[in-house]
Each structure stands twice: as C-alpha cells, then as structure tokens.
Amino acid sequence: MTKQFSSVWSREPRQPKSSGLHRDQIVRAAIEILDTEGMEALSMRKLGARLAAGATSLYWYVSTKDELLELVLDEFWGMVRVPEPERNSWREVSTAFAYSMRETMLNHPWVATLLGRLPSIGPSSLRLTDRLRRTFVRAGFEGNDVYLATGTLFSFVLGQILPLIAWKNAYGDDNVDTSNVMGVLEDLGADYPEMIHDYRHTVPQDPDVARAVAFDFGLISVLDGLEVRLRGGASVDTPTDTGGAEMRG
C-alpha cells in the first residue's frame, strides 16, 4: 500500500497563540537540548518545561515530534555555509560547503540520526541545494549531472563524518590509545607485514590529524574527478565502453 507523504512544510505555520510562544523559540530550545543532552533526552514534555509551557502548547505548532525534528533539521542546514556561486569558483564553493558541513555535523552530531530519515525540504535546505545547483551549472555541468555532482559531494562528506560520529558516540571525546590499537593490529595482521609497516610508518598516529588528512585527500580527489569529467564532456546519460582497449596487451 502506498504511504501518504507528510511534512511539516506542506502546510502554513500556525500563528502564535496569546502565550507569545513562537515556532522559532521552540526550535532553538530543542537544539539546546539536543546539543547538551542528545537525541534520547529530547521529549515534548522536557521541551515544554524548558519553555515554561505545557507539552500540549507545543502541539499547536507541530503535530508530532518528527515534525519538530524536521524544523530542527532545516535549522541545521541553515548553519552550513555555501558561498555565493556568482562570486566564487565552483571548487571554492564546493570546498567551503564540504568543510562547513563537516564542522556543523561535528558540532551537532545528533543530526546523523535525522539525515535520510526525515525529508530536507525546508527553506534553508532548498536555499543550500539551489546554491550548489547554481554552482555546478556555472561550472558547466548539464542536466542530471548537476544533481549527480551535488549528490557526490554530499555523499563524500557523509561517508567521512557519519563513521566518526558513530565512533565518538561509542568512545566519547577521549582518544583511544593508538599504541594499544597498533599492538592489537600487529598481532592480528601478522600475515600482512607490509600493510602493518605502512600503518606504523606512513599513517599519522594522531587520530585527528589522520582524519583531517583523509578528508583533505578525499575531497580534493572528488573535485579532481568531477573536473576531469567536466573537461571531458562525459555524461552519465552517455554509455561509454568500459572494456578499456588501452588496457590490452
């Protein structure tokens, strides 16, 4: 059976009641709870208490907790910086966006539980998406490639940051003893001495440095790949021979 799509953004926001409570106040208070106590601590009852209002008062503005979280998610997107594409190169815009999204996610790790689960169709999300769209159009991408390029950039950042947030949720902000980790790895990887040697002598031992290097390398590689595709004029709508005659012989 087809499920009916529903979103807090599909209807006009209700006007504040005589209590003077505004939707923006509710969203800001929810983010304060999320930042200090995490997703599990957020409830309509606790939020109402923080605002000196009953939980029933909040339901005037949102029908469910998920509707509240949709508003919160859009507030998150409003924190992510995307420079004006008309004033910056596409690589500059993409780089600024990627680093800003990385920083904003790490500052508000609860967002990891919302991305992909709730729709991002609020005004801040649409504004951000349109700036990226304009960025790639100005770069020379056409048709669906514009949105595929945007999605590739999003996917890179998420692929880098979601595991890091999961790690921090499991171990907190304290760094795990890397020498202990290497000792375990050397025991388990005794059959792979060259790989263990590489880990020991080429990978940064400081986890924060290693993550920063990985993010830099990955982002530059993604942008280089998009630039090669752009210069070559290839489109995903155009089948190409991947057999690779140049690989023969």
Instruction: Write the pLDDT tens digit of every residue in 194-248.
Output: 999 998 889 888 889 999 999 999 999 999 999 999 988 555 554 444 444 444 3
- Start-end ranges of CATH 1.10.10.60 in the chain? 23-63
Task: Report pLDDT digits (tens) over 57-74.
Answer: 899 899 999 999 999 999
Bridge partners for 115 per DSSP: 118
For domain 81-231, which architecture applies? Orthogonal Bundle (1.10)
Q: Which residue has the tokens 């990226």?
A: 132
Phi-psi map region of 116: left, alpha, beta (phi>0 left; psi -120 to 50 alpha): left
Neighbouring residues of 212: CB distance < 8 A, sequence distance ≥ 6: none
Alpha-carbon span 70 to 119, nearest angstrom:
7
- Give the residue with greater pLDDT, 15 vs 119: 119
Residue range 23-63, CATH number:
1.10.10.60
Q: What is the mean pLDDT of residues 107-132?
A: 97
CATH 1.10.357.10 in the chain is located at: 81-231
Q: What is the pTM of this model?
A: 0.86
- Angle of helix 65-79 relative to helix 123-139, nearest 10 degrees? 40
- Res 21: pLDDT: 87
The confidence band for 150, taking pLDDT boundaries of 50, 70 and 90, is very high
88 burial (CB, 10 Å; 0-12 / 13-18 / 19+) is: middle
Mean pLDDT across 82-102: 97
Name which of 81, 105, 110, 103 is nearest 93 in CA terms.
81
State how far the Cα of 193 lies from the Cα of 81, in Å rounded to an integer: 44
- Of 77, 97, 79, which Cα lies nearest the Cα of 88? 97
By C-alpha distance, which of 58, 158, 50, 51 is closest to 111?
Answer: 158
Most trustworthy range by pLDDT among 11-20, 48-57, 120-129, 174-183: 120-129
